[in-house]
Amino acid sequence: MTSLSRLKRRAVLATLACASLGLAVSCAPSSPDVATPSSGTSPAASGSASGGSAGGGSATLSGAGASFPAPLYQRWFADYNKENSGVQISYQSVGSGAGVEQFLAGTVDFGASDAPLKSEDKEKFKAKYGAEPIQVPMTGGTIVFAYNLDGVDGLKLSRDAYCGIVTGQITKWNDPAIASANSGATLPDSEIQFVHRSDGSGTTFGFTNHLKAACPDWKAGASKSVEWPVGTGAKGNEGVTAQIQQTPGAIGYTEFSYAKENGLKMAAIENKAGKIIEPSPEAGAVAFKGETIPADFALLVPDPAAAEAYPISTLTWVLLYPEYKDAAKKEALINVIKWSLDSGKTAATDLGYIPLETELAGKVETELGKIK
């Protein structure tokens, strides 16, 4: 009995050893293949290796916050790293709320938020650090109505139409309020399936901020998450996008860049001046033209008055400390932001964001000068 089981155990051990050997053997030839792409794709890794030789300033910065500008920030920071290999910036898109929290706690070098700092957060910051936080806009975004309706291209939505959809007063696609603006199109007699974000997000903040200003019957207020009168919730811009793609008769709001990338149809909507405007970063940028910028840069334009402005545009901010002990860090941070607002403009347009106007960018640069 015992000898038999011992034999068995030995056999098992042997096969185990074989398996692990086999793994090791099969692994060995492939390891160089694995190593090549990894060093190629991560500029951070190669940057650290050549950091010393670059000669310029070297610093490692970390930031966290808003997810809406995350694709752009990551692109900017990677591009900047290619030119200045000594400076590495890591950005975690953990959400604006968490970004502000980490910024207040002092665990990051900069925070990022889709909504300006609340006064209570500013108080908290002042109490802890003894000075006002520095808040500057980095880029803007356009929020669009994306929809899925077979055979209907170039849907136009009047104010009454889209307000009715989000408040639940309009439930059918062939409602007169929608049909009156789309004379050529055949609208189906089907239910409107409204899709909104289920997670807290800056996109929702920008969207509801507009609804609050534009729709008299909108009662839910403006926030990163609100109590929706109708619709289903999906997580993230990608979740909303997937749900719209899948559901005939669906309409929802997403960032312009997501809708564009995924080939969703976007509705043109009526602005305050009564013109129906196609969504685009250019039309979105018009919204911020000529607006007076408050001292803390908390510029919100919930319902722009300009005749050519696309009505739903929003800015996104980075949060900086008034004082950095590490001079190299401070230098690098200011340079990155300046570079992003200037040389980073093309990347912003590429990705569907609204680059800041030269005048506003100039003001941001002056503000950066206040950092000690």
Residue 243 lies near other proteins (rule: CB under 8 A): yes
d(CA 289, CA 176): 34
Least distance in angstroms from the C-beta of 128 to other proteins: 16
In the complex, what is the shortest distance from the CB of residue 367 to other proteins, in angstroms, rounded to a whole number?
Answer: 26
The answer to whether 222 contacts other proteins (rule: CB under 8 A) is yes
Q: Tell me how far apart the alpha carbons of residues 293 and 356 are, in angstroms, rounded to a whole number.
A: 12
Site size toward other proteins (CB under 8 A) is 33
Which x/- pattern over 284-323 shows residues binding other proteins (rule: CB under 8 A)? ----------------------------------------
* DSSP β-ladder status, 276-277 and 268-270: antiparallel
With binding defined as CB under 8 A, does residue 95 bind other proteins?
A: yes
**Which of 141/284 has CB closer to other proteins?**
141
Characterize the bridge pairing of strands 265-266 and 134-148: antiparallel
In the 8-state DSSP scheme, what is residue 170? -
Work out the burial of residue 246: count CB atoms within 10 Å of its CB; fewer than 13 is exposed, 13-18 middle, 19 or more buried: exposed
Told to check if 228 binds other proteins by CB under 8 A, we report yes
Contact flag: residue 234 with other proteins (CB under 8 A):
yes
Is residue 262 within the footprint of other proteins (CB under 8 A)?
no
Q: Is 225 in the site for other proteins (CB under 8 A)?
A: yes
Kindly tell me which of 66 and 356 has the beta carbon lying closer to other proteins: 66
Q: Is 137 in the site for other proteins (CB under 8 A)?
A: no
Is 242 an interacting residue with respect to other proteins (CB under 8 A)?
Answer: yes
Is 96 a binder of other proteins (CB under 8 A)? yes
The stretch among 29-37, 168-176, 238-246, 279-287 that binds other proteins (CB under 8 A) is 238-246
Q: Which 3-state string (H, E, C) describes 222-285?
A: CCCCCCCCCCEEECHHHHHHHHHHHCCCEEEEEEHHHHHHCCCEECEEECCCCCEECCCHHHHH
Q: Return d(Cα 137, Cα 341) in angstroms, integer.
A: 10
Q: Least distance from C-beta 233 to other proteins, angstroms?
A: 3
Burial track 26-64 (b if 16+ CB lie within 10 A, e otherwise) = eeeeeeeeeeeeeeeeebeeebbeebeeeeeebbbbebb
Within a 13 Å sphere around the CA of 180, how many CA atoms are in the beta-carbon half?
A: 10
Least distance CB 235 / other proteins (angstroms): 6
Q: Interface with other proteins includes 101 (CB under 8 A)? A: yes
At a CB cut-off of 8 Å and minimum separation 6, what does 226 contact?
204, 208, 220
Question: Judged by CB under 8 A, which of 57, 188, 200, 322 binds other proteins?
Answer: 200
Binding residues vs other proteins (CB under 8 A): 94-98, 100-101, 191, 193, 198-201, 220-228, 231-235, 239, 242-243, 246-247, 250
